[in-house]
Amino acid sequence: MNIREPVSKFVKVRCPKCKNEQIIFGKASTEVKCLVCSKSIADPTGGKTRVKSRILEVLE
């Protein structure tokens, strides 16, 4: 019996407005806002999240 590896990842992004760095889920089901300035940084699409800020790192 094989155990499948998860396909989803966490992503470290930087807010374009205040430069805050935060980690978000790669398949978020709700809009993700910056924790500092509340600017929207990612939107759900039903699958992968549409990131509207700079991706710094993909965490395994």
Alpha-carbon distance of 49 to 40, in angstroms, equals 12
What is the structure's pLDDT at 33?
A: 96
Across 19-27, average pLDDT: 95
Q: How far apart are CA 31 and CA 41, in angstroms?
A: 8
Q: What is the pLDDT of residue 51?
A: 94
Residue of 59, 13, 18 whose CA lies nearest to 37: 18
Q: Which residue has the higher pLDDT, 1 or 3?
A: 3
**pLDDT value of position 47:** 87
The mean pLDDT value for 25-51 works out to: 94
- For domain 10-59, give the CATH number: 2.20.25.100
